[in-house]
Structure 1
Amino acid sequence: MCGLLGLVAKRNKIIHYKSYLDNALDTLTHRGPDQSGVYYNEKVYLGHKRLSIIDLDSGEQPMISSDGRYIIVFNGEIFNFEKIKNSLKNKGYFFKTNSDTEVILSAYNYFGHECLKYFNGMFSIAIWDSLKRELFLARDRFGIKPLFYAKQSDTIIFSSEIKAIYKTGLLNFKPKYDNFNEFLVFGYISGEETMHYNINELEPAHYLIWSDKIFTKKQYWNLKPEKILLDYNLDDASKKLINAVDTWLTSDVEVGSLLSGGVDSNVLAMIASKNLKNITTFGGILEHDPENNEENLINIALKKLKGDHYSIKIKNKFLENNFFKLIDHFDDPIHDSNYFSLMAICDEIKKYTNYKVVICGEGADEIFGGYERYIKFSKQYEKNSFDNLIYSYNHVAIPRLKLITQDPVIISRRRYEIFNEIRSDDIFNTLLYYDQRTFLGSYLHRQDRVGMMYGLEIRTPYLDHHLANYINSITSKKKYNSKYQKLILRLIGEKIIDNRIIWDNQKIAFSFPISKLLKNGFLYFQFKRLFKNGFLIEEIYNLNGISKLLHEHSKGIDHSNTLWRILCLEYWLQSMKNKHC
């Protein structure tokens, strides 16, 4: 896993900004502490910070193709690169390294942008064609790896993280106020827009081509299946999952696994353990909530798993002690307190082990149908009433928003477009597809930014596109019954892990007790401090409405979700203005 930064501009602009670009690249060192590299000329700058995972000795970037035409910086992993490499060898290509980076270069040379359909993995890619003087940017199918860009009349700048774009000095921070309501309701921004004016995120499964004469974006993969299977073979589903896990274990360094008491991580850890003979696991236990954690289920799991286990005790004060540190690190407001739970785990892994790579169960709920809301809202659906499906449980935030603004515009045009792109007669599956295109991205954002903060690559095998294609094509009638969601995954897991885990229906949130902290704890006192010293968001939101929400929350009406986002939005705004204005 790595960090990348690039700029394509008019002649001589690069020379003028070279020192600023080098400083901006250094803001990404946490993403790639093992090696740093730069390629530049009068037209283009490509910078790279490397976390060495595959081909530790000779995979340095930027990498130049053998004929000198193409230069690449790349963040992520192409897990099936050996298979593609062998195919290209048969076409006459030769390779100097054992890296997936060189394979990408050769594949792009041979296939052009069509190379993307052969890649299995998580990636953001930037390739400069020095002959055509053309930039190619691409992002993996689910958006596991980030890629942001800002386009001016004669310039395009791009990076793994927005902070590096600002550090170049080419742009100053300007918040996109129009998107604040969407954040407060949903916790993230759909589509390519961000919380930053004039900075976009290349959407998942898209590529972009830019030159002096061309700017074009295209989608290269669609998660919506062309045909629905009315039945499926459980052995086929199991094989596809095992193949996905085995593929996503590809690495030249040791791979560990995050482990909770849930189905998702346990199935992955068991499959990985069989492949690797044993697996080191890391599980977090929230000390502030000893009666409502998964320690007992984790202990059950460990009886079958072979390998070392690190039980990470997360202390009550961790959120309080690290609240401003994480807000200052992030380029967007933090929408959920479980960012801090993951932060605590990554912090311990970094302190006490040498692991650079772990797998996790992110994406299983969106692929296999693990959320109760999928059943509830598909049953309540009325024809052509899309708003309720798009809002889902987020509709509770609408009256709260009306308390603090007279302009509660919430659902963006892009949300409607995405919904219409994936809509089908199977409403349950439609909700899965919609979450895969929208909601899932906010948690992939968390995995990448928090993991990379500690130089830790977090992989998501459930988002292997071969597996996703197959599960997405199965009728929803096979994905749940009267008692259980995520039925296909449970039936696969039933054969390999303890049934007390498989058929445990309790979903435990791995997050801090923010409702309590907003009543008379750390978060409440942060609000009191802001009411005393002043809010930046009072330019657009009514403070009396915020005060009313806080008061009602203290009386037992739970507004914790919205209050958390208001607080994080305010402190993010303060942090960004202090750093980048």
Structure 2
Amino acid sequence: MCGIAGIFHAETPKPVDPRRVERMCDALVHRGPDGAGVWTGQGIGLGHRRLSIIDLAGSPQPMHSVDDRAVIVFNGEIYNYRELRRELEKGGVEFNTHGDTEVILAAWQRWGTDCLRHLDGMFAFAIWDKPKRQLFLARDRLGVKPLFLAPLSDGSLAFASELKGLLAHPLFKRRLDPLAIDDYLAWGYVPDSRSILRDVEKLPAGHYLLLEQGKPHPKPQMWWDVSFAERRKGAEADLSAELVHLLREAVQSRMVADVPLGAFLSGGVDSSSVVALMAEASREPVRTCSIGFDVEALDETSYAQQIAEKFNTDHRSRTVGQDDFSEIDRLAAMFDEPFADASALPTWRVCQLARENVTVALSGDGADEAFAGYRRQVFHRHEERARSILPQSLRGPLFGTLGNIWPKADWAPQPLRAKTTLLSLASDGNEGYARGLSVLNREQRHSIYGANAKNALGGYRAESALVSMMQAAPARSGLDRAQYADLKFWLPGDILTKVDRTSMAVSLEAREPLLDHRLIEFAATLPDNMRVRGKQGKFLLKKSMERYLPSDILYRSKQGFVTPIAAWFRGPLSGAARGIARSTALGQIDWFDSGALADLAEAHIAGRSDNSRLLWQLLMLEKSLERLQLAG
């Protein structure tokens, strides 16, 4: 795993100052502490920070092709590079190294942009083709690895693995994108369709950008998409056998490394499945680690310990407590943009624990998106059935009226907290799912905005991008559209951002076998009832893993990586909650009604409502704005 950065002059091939590229790379040192390199040519500069995983001594970057006609900087891993190498060697290609980086170069020279379809892995890379004077930027199918782009005042384009790489360039302007604030408050993160800073773009997952000197910048081109438009036929037993085969291949391909390797183990279905298949394939005990909490109701380390004992892993665990919030500034610094998924804290801690013994760790991320494991997906399928029975002319007035008068009873048992469900049923499926997925709906956001925010937004609504994505999805059912949105919007924006930044912050490579593209494509063709059966999500995955895992792991209620921030904001962090309304950083952008923020904090502390997610969002926004030091 690595960090990459670069500068490209598209209009005129002006010289690139290598010190500027080096400065950008130095901001990414955590992504690659094992080595660094910079190369500049006519109108181009490429930089690299290396975390050595494969071919430890033989693959320095930037790397030149054997014929010196192309140069690459690469962040990620190509799991099928050995097979590709053999294929290319049969065609006469020669190699100087034993790693995957040179294979990408040779694949580009053989197939051009079609090389991407041959690559099985997680990646973001930049290739400079000297004779063609082309810069080829590409990102993997699901967006495991990030790539940020920004135009500079001298006409050049800068790119980097993280926003902090762009921030290190002296010509980069730090100007807030006001629409990103609405996006952030809606979702808890800034999605890939936008950045917290104006003019910054994120190359979308499954896209490439081919730039040529002297020609206008084209738009990114999609090279991969997941389709839910087809349905696979077959008996449950046959589909289960195929799924287990794909799972085995995905796990085993990600166990290739020249450094110590382990796994995250939460005790849930997904990480337990990965560990079970790792143990099956490994001659040595698998190294596993887990994180617990100092609030007993949210602590799941006993389930992780159960799996560790079953598969005889070399297991370690640690506890996250309220004192860990003293590190909130470091947490905010990892993401650059505001990021409010509170599970980032325990994820960072488990990465720290893993890094003490391994350099690569496999995770269970991706199965919920691919196999419908989230409660919201299960609820959405049942809501869609209700929508199919009652026409919109009846649903809208009936459920809309009920939803508007139903109290927001955060304190009540789950069945009595029906406000969101009622309002969702009043809408069409796409709008309803967007409401269910959002942290704050539009009405809630506007209740804390001041006049300046409402004027800046005009008619903008954060949910529109998600709704449009669902409407255009290659899908056959409401469940399909929900999962498509989760894979294309939620996964890269939240889950993969969280894992990439927290793992890279400690120089750990995280690999996601359950995001193998063949596995994702297989899951997308399953009939709805093979994904959701009754109240059970991930139906086929759980049935398939019954031979490996005990039923209390497979079929217990889904907990998720939940942090006890609600209790902490009522206790030792109550001062931080009250301080949000007086925040200097939030005051400078002059977006919020400070009285409304103060009321939210007091209502939460008194236990009248649970505003912990919003308070956490605002706190992380404050920390991010402090670090970004926006231009006036």
Whether these two folds match at TM > 0.5 is yes
Using the TM superposition, name which of 536-545 and 237-246 deviates more. 536-545
> Residue 281 in 1 paired to residue 288 in 2?
yes
How many angstroms does 1:396 deviate by? 5.0
Given residue 366 of structure 2, which amino acid in structure 1 is its aligned partner? G
Mapped to 1, the partners of 2:375 and 2:581 lie a distance apart of 38
1:47·1:62 contact (CA, 8 Å) conserved in 2?
A: yes
> Residue 72 in 1 paired to residue 72 in 2?
yes
Given residue 299 of structure 1, which amino acid in structure 2 is its aligned partner? Q
Aligned mate of 2:559, from 482, 486, 508: 508
Alignment of 1:410-559 (within 5 A): 410-411=461-462, 413-422=464-473, 424-441=475-492, 442-504=494-556, 506-522=557-573, 524-532=574-582, 534-537=584-587, 539-554=590-605, 555-559=607-611
Match of 1:324 in 2: 329
> Residue 560 in 1 paired to residue 561 in 2?
no
Alignment of 1:242-261 (within 5 A): 242-261=248-267
RMSD: 2.0
Match of 1:236 in 2: 242
Using the TM superposition, name which of 331-340 and 147-156 deviates more. 147-156
How many angstroms does 1:226 deviate by? 4.4
Using the TM superposition, name which of 544-553 and 174-183 deviates more. 544-553
Match of 2:444 in 1: 400
> Residue 38 in 1 paired to residue 38 in 2?
yes
Aligned mate of 2:302, from 272, 296, 300: 296
Match of 2:215 in 1: 213
Mapped to 2, the partners of 1:279 and 1:395 lie a distance apart of 37
Using the TM superposition, name which of 212-221 and 258-267 deviates more. 212-221
Match of 2:435 in 1: 391
SS in 2 for 1:136: strand
Q: Give the count of matched residue pairs.
A: 573
2:322·2:572 contact (CA, 8 Å) conserved in 1?
A: no
Using the TM superposition, name which of 380-389 and 157-166 deviates more. 380-389
1:535·1:570 contact (CA, 8 Å) conserved in 2?
A: yes
1:426·1:475 contact (CA, 8 Å) conserved in 2?
A: no
Mapped to 2, the partners of 1:307 and 1:412 lie a distance apart of 44
CA, structure 1 residues 12+215, in 2 after alignment: closer, same or farther (shift >3 Å)?
closer
Given residue 70 of structure 2, which amino acid in structure 1 is its aligned partner? Y
SS in 2 for 1:99: coil
Sequence identity (%): 28
Using the TM superposition, name which of 129-138 and 166-175 deviates more. 166-175
What TM-score do you get using the length of structure 2 for normalisation?
Answer: 0.87
1:404·1:546 contact (CA, 8 Å) conserved in 2?
A: yes
2:435·2:441 contact (CA, 8 Å) conserved in 1?
A: no
SS in 2 for 1:365: helix
CA, structure 1 residues 401+53, in 2 after alignment: closer, same or farther (shift >3 Å)?
same
Mapped to 2, the partners of 1:389 and 1:22 lie a distance apart of 44
1:191·1:414 contact (CA, 8 Å) conserved in 2?
A: no
Provide, for residues 47-90 of structure 1, a one-character-per-residue CA deviation record: whole Å limited to 9, x for no partner.
Answer: 00011111112011111011111100000000001111111111
How many angstroms does 1:172 deviate by? 2.4
Mapped to 1, the partners of 2:127 and 2:83 lie a distance apart of 21
Alignment of 1:62-141 (within 5 A): 62-141=62-141
CA, structure 1 residues 144+533, in 2 after alignment: closer, same or farther (shift >3 Å)?
closer
Match of 2:628 in 1: 576
Given residue 27 of structure 1, which amino acid in structure 2 is its aligned partner? A
How many angstroms does 1:532 deviate by? 4.3
Using the TM superposition, name which of 408-417 and 558-567 deviates more. 408-417
How many angstroms does 1:379 deviate by? 2.4
Mapped to 1, the partners of 2:560 and 2:541 lie a distance apart of 20
SS in 1 for 2:337: coil
SS in 2 for 1:303: helix
Mapped to 1, the partners of 2:519 and 2:353 lie a distance apart of 31
Match of 1:348 in 2: 353
SS in 2 for 1:236: helix
What stretches of structure 2 of length at least 5 have no aligned partner? Answer: 389-427
SS in 2 for 1:77: strand
Alignment of 1:42-61 (within 5 A): 42-61=42-61
2:378·2:535 contact (CA, 8 Å) conserved in 1?
A: no
How many angstroms does 1:533 deviate by? 5.7
Provide, for residues 266-292 of structure 1, a one-character-per-residue CA deviation record: whole Å limited to 9, x for no partner.
Answer: 110010111122311011121x11343
SS in 2 for 1:494: helix
Mapped to 1, the partners of 2:462 and 2:561 lie a distance apart of 28
CA, structure 1 residues 395+528, in 2 after alignment: closer, same or farther (shift >3 Å)?
closer
Mapped to 2, the partners of 1:550 and 1:482 lie a distance apart of 39
Mapped to 1, the partners of 2:48 and 2:187 lie a distance apart of 33
Mapped to 2, the partners of 1:457 and 1:451 lie a distance apart of 6
> Residue 314 in 1 paired to residue 324 in 2?
no
Given residue 529 of structure 2, which amino acid in structure 1 is its aligned partner? K
How many angstroms does 1:12 deviate by? 7.2
How many angstroms does 1:13 deviate by? 4.7
How many angstroms does 1:42 deviate by? 3.7
CA, structure 1 residues 564+410, in 2 after alignment: closer, same or farther (shift >3 Å)?
farther
Using the TM superposition, name which of 182-191 and 232-241 deviates more. 182-191
SS in 2 for 1:76: strand
